[in-house]
Structure 1
């Protein structure tokens, strides 16, 4: 049953994130907001006893670490493809672009390639690795967007002095 729950969770998170990324959303300067979903995904992944293939422990760990590192890089790419701007009132907004869509396509291609390479070597890859990679992806994307959005936010939003609003 946990495998079914993980699949449902992965589909729900990916669907939710994809739906929301192409809508203009007001930026929330609360840093805890970007930690909740990755923390839940990471917890679920790390509690799964099938995170690593016991028959190929070293190779399985290499695929897991490699997959997470790749998703960290792709999360940064995704964060930089998000459009960020300040409106006339000084509110900071973000919205995914067509480049964000292609970043998602690239992420899916890379994930399928990693699974195919692991399968070719006989290494079992479960949903836990995907949950952990998704957690890393969302955490890095959120951090990059937050870092970029702070250039536009008023000083009161995050406790330092801000500059004039401009579009990236």
Structure 2
């Protein structure tokens, strides 16, 4: 996959994550929250240059740092996300100001790794970033699924728009 396609994939995933974090949304603990991280991992590992051939030790150490930063960002993001239950028993989530702070710190640390790569004369391509992003999403998704399960199973399915919620505004014709 070309660098342009990797860059577009990174921008698309980050845009989706920002939109999903800024809006309240219901969590379904049965859904496949791990699927996007697996796809990103497969895309990242298909590229042959994830570790440089001539500086394997330094390149592998920087990749490990990227993965540790991704894990820490995902764990921080998962723990700073607000969870609550609606009256119908569904679990909802929304990012907080602390979640944004975790993102800012994670991006700053990743920029530091990129600066260190440049200072050492190494080239870390988009595959390393995609792999770090996959680890971030996997950690966040796992923590949110685990936290959501602690609220207990939903007593019933969530109603459709308006549903049987007596406080919901209804249009009059």
TM-score, shorter chain, exceeding 0.5: yes
Q: List 4+ stretches of structure 1 deviating above 3 A.
A: none
- Structure possessing the higher radius of gyration over alpha carbons: 2
- For residues 8 and 118 of structure 1, the distance between their equivalents in structure 2, rounded to whole angstroms, comes to 22
Alpha-carbon distance in 1 for matches of 2:129, 2:152: 33
Measure how far apart 1:139 and its partner are. Answer: 0.3
Q: 1:59 to 1:156 in 2, by over 3 A?
A: farther
Name the SS for the 1:85 alignment partner: strand
Measured in 1, the distance between the counterparts of 2:34 and 2:52 equals 28
TM-score, length-scaled by structure 1: 0.88
Question: Structure 1: how far apart are the matches of 2:152 and 2:33?
Answer: 17
Three-state SS of the structure 1 residue aligned to 2:33 is helix
Provide the residue aligned with 2:95 in structure 1. 96
* Structure with greater helix share of residues: 1
Q: Tell me how far apart the structure 2 counterparts of residues 54 and 156 of structure 1 sit (CA, whole Å).
A: 55
Whole-Å Cα distance in 2 between the matches of residues 120 and 156 of structure 1?
A: 56
How many residues align? The count is 156
Shift of 1:105: 0.8
Bigger shift: residues 49-58 or 127-136: 49-58
Would the aligned equivalents of 2:45 and 2:127 in 1 still touch at CA under 8 Å?
Answer: yes
Q: For structure 2, list consecutive stretches of 5 or more residues without a partner in the other structure.
A: 157-173
CA RMSD of superposed structures (Å):
1.5
Q: Is the 8 A contact 1:92 1:153 kept in 2?
A: no
Distance 2:128 2:155 in 1: 39
Q: What does the per-residue CA deviation read over 1:134-168, in whole Å, with 9 as the maximum and x for residues that have no partner?
A: 000000000011111111131789xxxxxxxxxxx
Cα distance change of structure 1 residues 28 and 155 upon mapping to structure 2, 3 Å threshold: closer
Structure 1 unmatched runs, 5+: 158-168
Partner of 1:75: 74
> What residue in structure 2 maps to residue 160 of structure 1?
none
SS across alignment from 1:138: helix
**Whole-Å separation in 1 of the counterparts to 2:117 and 2:152:** 44
Quote the residue 2:123 is aligned against.
124
Q: Is the 8 A contact 2:37 2:138 kept in 1?
A: yes
Aligned to 1:165: none
Conservation of the 8 A alpha-carbon contact between 2:27 and 2:92: yes
Residues 156, 58 of structure 1: CA spacing in aligned structure 2 closer, same or farther, 3 A cutoff?
farther
